Amino acid sequence: MERIIFNVVIVTSACCWCEKYVFVQNQLNWPQARNYCKTHHTDFLALTNKKEEEVFKKYVNDDESKQGWIGIYWDGPSNEWKWSGGKSVTYLTTLSFSDKAKNIYWKKDNWEWRSGDNHYSFFCLNMLVVQEEKTWEDALEFCSKKGTKLTSLLSATESLQAQNEIQPSVFTKQVWIGLRYLGDRWLWVNGDPMPYEAWPMGGDQDHQCPMLRRCGALTKQGVWESRDCQEKLSFICA
C-alpha cells in the first residue's frame, strides 16, 4: 500500500487533488484567513515578484469573482512588512505602503490596503508532500495522474514555505521538485518561469553543467541540489 502523507484537508470548492493556488470563498478576517491557510493548506498566498503574480493570474483566469486577502502583514517585532511564512515585502506593484491598513486585498487589476478586521474571501498556497520514495520520473507520473505536477518554487518565500513542509523525519533529506536539466539549462517541468534560484554558494557546483545529476531536489536546509534522476526520494506535488 502506498504510504502518502497529505498535509492538506480540502474543504473548499477546489475540485482537483492538489491545486497550487486555492481560492477560499469563506468570508474571514485576515488573521482568521491566515490560520485557515496554515491549518488546511500550506500557507497564505505570497506574490513576491512580477513573474510570480503573472503565474498566479493564469489560475484566476479573468474570473472577477476570485479576489480577496493575500498574505501581507505588519510584523511589529521586526518593524517591517512581511509575507506570511516568508520574507520581507519588497514587491507591491505600484501600491504605496500604508500606515493605517495592515493587510492587502488582491484584485486582478490592482491591490488595495484594507483593514484586517474586515471579512473577505482569500487565497492559500497549497503543496502536498508525498512520503513515498520514487524516482524523479515516477514522482512526476504520480503527480500527473492526480492532475497536477511536481511543484515549482518561484520565490524565496515560496521556497521557505515548502522547506517548512518537508521538515518531518518521515520525508527524505532531499525531496523532488519540478526542476529538470534539459538542453543546456534548468527548467520547471510545468513551464513556469524561473525568477528565483536557490543553488548552493560555493562547494558542489555540479548543477552548472550536470552530466548525470539532471533532476532537481529541495533540501531541508532550503537549498536546491542536482541529483541522479534514478534516486528514490519523497516529493512535492502542486
Q: Are residues 57 and 148 in the same domain?
A: no
Residue 13 covered by a domain: no
Q: Are residues 99 and 139 in the same domain?
A: no
Residue 10 covered by a domain: no
Q: Are residues 118 and 153 in the same domain?
A: no
Mind listing the pLDDT tens digit for each residue in 65-86? 999 999 999 888 998 899 998 8
Residue 132 covered by a domain: yes
pLDDT of residue 92: 85
Nearest to 224 by CA among 166, 159, 161, 169: 159
Where a domain ends, among 77, 100, 125?
125
Parallel, antiparallel, or unpaired for β 103-106 and 111-114? antiparallel
pLDDT of residue 19: 87
Mind listing the pLDDT tens digit for each residue in 56-65? 999 998 898 9
Nearest to 114 by CA among 70, 80, 81, 78: 70
Residue 212 covered by a domain: yes
Q: Are residues 133 and 232 in the same domain?
A: yes
Q: Are residues 53 and 104 in the same domain?
A: yes
Give the global pTM.
0.87
Please name the residue ranges forming H helices in 41-175: 50-60, 136-145, 156-165
Q: Are residues 143 and 210 in the same domain?
A: yes
Residue 31 covered by a domain: yes
Q: Are residues 156 and 95 in the same domain?
A: no
Parallel, antiparallel, or unpaired for β 233-237 and 174-182? parallel
Where a domain ends, among 104, 125, 146?
125
Domain that holds residue 61: 21-125
Q: Is the separation of the CB atoms in 130 and 149 below 8 Å?
A: no
Q: Are residues 144 and 72 in the same domain?
A: no
Q: Are residues 166 and 121 in the same domain?
A: no
Q: Are residues 133 and 121 in the same domain?
A: no
Q: What is the CATH number of the domain that holds 172?
A: 3.10.100.10
**Domain count across the chain:** 2
Q: Are residues 161 and 186 in the same domain?
A: yes
Nearest to 234 by CA among 125, 143, 126: 143
Q: Are residues 152 and 224 in the same domain?
A: yes
Residue 8 covered by a domain: no
Return per-residue pLDDT of the chain as tens, 238 residues.
233 333 332 233 334 456 899 999 999 999 999 999 999 999 999 999 999 999 999 999 889 899 999 999 988 899 889 999 889 999 987 777 777 889 999 998 899 999 999 999 999 999 999 999 999 999 999 999 999 999 999 999 999 999 999 999 999 999 999 999 998 899 999 999 999 999 988 656 667 666 679 999 999 999 999 999 999 999 999 9
